[in-house]
Chain A
Amino acid sequence: MRVSGRDGRAGQDVLRRVGEASVLILISLADGPKHGYALIQDIKELADVELGPGTLYGALDRLERLNLIESLPADDRRHPYRITAPGAAALRVHLDSLERVSAAGRLRLRLGGI
């Protein structure tokens, strides 16, 4: 992954345009493999977002095409998914970027006295 950014810490943020559902899926998979139902439950718990099953499969396919997650052998009829090394790196870059924007936003709110 290409390294860019002003301070040299940030790589290319490939998750900028994949949508919120894909980012939430990657965050959910960051602590271990999960199948569809477990992903929906976990995302509801961690972000209070109810992913529709159609949205879930669309995002899973997109992330798999980008090589950010991989499908593990089916357990019964359920396919668990696992985050890949490039997926973890992309998630880290994206979260760093969100953190910087968040910090800048908080600072400006403080400076503005709001």
Chain B
Amino acid sequence: MAEPRAIRLVERALRCYPARWRRRHGDEAAELAALLIGDGASAGSIALSYLVGAAREWLTPRPGLRLGAATGALLIVACSLGVSAALLASSAPARAALTPTRDRGASTGQAHGRTHCRAVSDQAVPGVIRSMGQLPVIIWEAGHERSC
């Protein structure tokens, strides 16, 4: 028969489990520990095994919580899509201004087939930058504007 001190050690470890787990397995787990201690297993290793199990039990997401997490993730995705759509809508004038003008560049031999590169005068496009809500990233290169 297991010593009372060993039993108390295991019971303390079992108290670390969530209440629902203890309701379900608590009695059986205490009895199993007593049997194993009776077989010669050390109470410390059994208590440690239960402590690790308890930590894992607290960290394992329950099905209900998983549903909540999935709902939260869906909401975040929906919000992100909404913000992206709003950004796209607001950047429509910017796109129109950045439409590739190959013909113009091709005639001067300066476009090199780059769709985001067009020959312009040495002026930034303030309307474009304002509507994109970003800092301008413009490289001036021999009369070309490259905003990436």
Contacts and interface: CB of A to CB of B under 8 A. Distances in A.
Interface string A34-64: 0111001000000000001111011001000
Nearest to A62: B60
Chain A, interface SS category: helix
B32 A54 contact: no
Interface residues of A, number: 16
Interface residues of B: mostly helix, strand, loop or mixed? helix
Contacts of A74: 28
Given A36-B28, A37-B35, A37-B36, A65 B56 contact: no
A78 B29 CA distance: 9
Interface in B33-79: 33, 35-36, 45-46, 48-54, 56-57, 63
A6 interface: no
B29 A57 contact: yes
Contacts, number: 51
B8 interface: no
Contacts of B49: 52-55
B31 interface: yes
Interface residues of B, number: 22
B136 to A, nearest CB: 49
A54 B36 contact: no
Contacts of A54: 48-54, 56
B95 interface: no
Interface of A: 35-37, 40, 52-55, 57-58, 61, 65, 74, 77-79
